[in-house]
C-alpha cells in the first residue's frame, strides 16, 4: 500500500532527525511541571490533560473498532485506509499520556505529532475512493468532472506527495534547535499543507458538481431510494460524505492572530495557520484549540460513517457496474452542465 510505505518512510525520517538533533546549550529546568509555558524543552508548552486525552483516545479507538466491525459485517474493504488511519490517529492521541508524564520528551512528541497530523491523509484517501464507487453504483460516472479511476489515482497521488512534504518539513522543524532550520522546516510543512488543502478543495468541488449535475439531469436517480430505509438510501451516504469533507476542512480551520486581527480561514487550515505562526504559536500551544479545532472535526469526519457505512449502500458486487459493462456502455462520457 503506497500510503503505508509513505508513513513508514516519514516515521523513519522523523526519528532519524530526532536522533541527530543537537542538544540545547543550557540545562533543562529542575521541575518541568512548574512553568511549562516558558520551558523551551517542553514542545507543547503545557502539561497534557490525561482526562482529555483519555476521552479523545476512547472515542477514536471505539470508532476504529466500530469501523472494523462494519467492514466485517457489510464489506467495503476499500474504506480500510480510513479505519487504519483511525487506529494510528488514536495511537497519536495516546502518546499524549507519555507527554503528561514526561513533558520534555521530544521523541514522544514527534511520534505523537506524526500520527496526529498525518493520519487524516488516510481519511482523505477513503473519501476519494468512495466518490468514485458511489458514482459507479448510481450509473452516473458521466456526471463527474474527473473519471472515477482518475479520481483515485490523481488525488491519492497528490495525497501521498503532500504527505511526504509535510513529514519532511515537520521533521526539520520539530527536531531543529536553531531558528533558521526550524523556519525552513515550517515553511516546507506549510507548503505541503497548502497543496493538500488545494487538492482536497478541488475534490470537494468535484463532489458538489457531481451532486448538482445528477440533480439537474437525473432527478429520478436522486429519489430512486425514497421508499427504502435510511440506511439503504444513497442520499444518506452522500450526506455522510459531505459531512466528512466538511469535518476535514474545518479541522484545517482556526483563528490566526496577526497584528491583533483574528481571521477565520479553512483541518487543513488549522494546521496551515498553526505552522504559519511557528510550532510555538498560540494555536500550537493551546490544548483547547488542539481538541476543539483539530481533533473534534476529524472525529466527526470518521464517526459519521458508523451509521452510514458505505458497505450498507454499495454492495460488494455492484450490479449497476456489471450491467454497464455487459451493455458496452461508456460511463465516462462527459456531459455539459
| pLDDT (tens digit per residue) in 171-189 | 776 666 655 676 677 778 7
What pLDDT sits at residue 209?
Answer: 95
Query: What DSSP designation does 264 have?
Result: E
The three-state secondary structure class of 174 is helix
147-161 tens-digit pLDDT: 877 887 888 888 888
29: confidence class by pLDDT, cuts 50, 70, 90: confident
What pLDDT sits at residue 236?
Answer: 95
Instruction: Examine the pLDDT at 4 and tell me if it is beyond 90.
Output: no
Cβ pair 169, 160 in contact under 8 A? no
Q: Which of 26, 22, 20 is nearest to 39 (CA)?
A: 26
State how far the Cα of 278 lies from the Cα of 173, in Å rounded to an integer: 9
As a dihedral over the C-alpha atoms of residue 281, residue 284, residue 285, residue 287, rounded to 10 degrees, the angle is: 150
What pLDDT sits at residue 179?
Answer: 59
Q: Find the length of the chain.
A: 337
**Residue 258 burial (CB < 10 Å; 0-12/13-18/19+)?**
exposed
State how far the Cα of 228 lies from the Cα of 262, in Å rounded to an integer: 46
Percent of the chain exceeding pLDDT 90 equals: 39
The three-state secondary structure class of 56 is helix
325: confidence class by pLDDT, cuts 50, 70, 90: very low
C-alpha cell at 6: 509513505
13: confidence class by pLDDT, cuts 50, 70, 90: low
Q: Which of 116, 275, 115, 266 is nearest to 204 (CA)?
A: 266
The three-state secondary structure class of 265 is coil
Cβ pair 11, 114 in contact under 8 A? yes
C-alpha cell at 194: 497548502
Q: Give the predicted TM-score (pTM) of the model.
A: 0.79
**What is the arithmetic mean of pLDDT over 300-321?**
83
The answer to whether the Cα torsion of 152, 158, 164, 170 is positive or negative is negative
State how far the Cα of 129 lies from the Cα of 147, in Å rounded to an integer: 12
State how far the Cα of 280 lies from the Cα of 46, in Å rounded to an integer: 11
Amino acid at each position: 500500500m503506497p500510503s503505508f510505505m509513505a508513513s513508514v518512510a516519514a516515521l523513519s525520517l522523523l526519528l532519524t532527525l530526532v536522533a541527530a538533533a543537537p542538544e540545547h546549550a543550557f540545562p533543562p529546568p529542575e521541575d518541568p511541571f512548574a512553568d511549562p509555558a516558558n520551558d523551551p524543552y517542553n514542545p507543547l508548552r503545557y502539561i497534557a490533560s490525561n482526562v482529555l486525552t483519555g476521552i479523545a483516545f476512547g472515542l477514536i479507538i471505539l470508532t476504529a473498532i466500530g469501523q472494523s466491525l462494519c467492514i466485517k459485517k457489510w464489506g467495503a474493504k476499500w474504506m480500510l485506509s480510513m479505519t487504519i488511519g483511525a487506529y494510528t490517529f488514536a495511537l497519536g492521541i495516546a502518546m499524549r499520556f507519555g507527554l503528561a508524564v514526561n513533558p520534555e520528551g521530544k521523541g514522544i512528541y514527534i511520534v505523537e505529532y506524526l500520527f496526529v497530523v498525518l493520519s487524516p491523509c488516510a481519511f482523505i484517501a477513503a473519501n476519494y475512493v468512495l466518490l468514485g464507487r458511489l458514482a459507479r453504483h448510481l450509473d452516473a460516472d458521466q456526471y463527474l468532472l474527473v473519471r472515477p479511476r482518475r479520481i483515485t489515482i490523481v488525488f491519492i497521488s497528490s495525497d501521498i506527495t503532500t504527505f511526504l512534504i509535510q513529514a519532511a518539513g515537520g521533521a526539520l522543524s520539530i527536531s531543529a534547535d536553531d531558528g533558521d532550520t526550524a523556519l525552513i522546516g515550517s515553511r516546507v510543512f506549510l507548503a505541503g499543507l497548502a497543496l493538500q488543502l488545494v487538492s482536497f478543495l478541488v475534490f470537494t468541488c468535484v463532489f458538489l458538481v457531481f451532486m448538482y449535475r445528477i440533480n439537474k439531469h437525473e432527478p429520478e436517480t436522486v429519489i430512486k431510494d425514497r421508499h427504502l430505509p435510511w440506511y439503504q438510501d444513497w442520499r444518506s451516504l452522500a450526506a455522510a460524505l459531505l459531512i466528512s469533507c466538511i469535518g476535514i476542512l474545518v479541522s484545517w480551520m482556526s483563528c490566526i492572530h496577526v497584528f491583533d486581527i483574528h481571521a477565520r480561514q479553512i483541518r487543513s487550515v488549522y494546521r496551515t495557520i498553526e505552522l504559519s505562526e511557528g510550532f510555538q504559536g498560540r494555536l500550537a500551544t493551546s490544548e483547547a484549540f488542539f481538541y476543539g479545532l483539530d481533533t473534534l472535526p476529524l472525529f466527526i469526519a470518521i464517526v459519521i460513517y458508523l451509521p452510514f457505512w458505505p458497505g450498507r449502500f454499495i454492495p460488494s458486487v455492484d450490479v449497476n457496474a456489471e450491467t454497464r459493462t455487459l451493455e458496452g456502455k461508456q460511463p465516462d462520457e462527459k456531459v455539459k452542465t
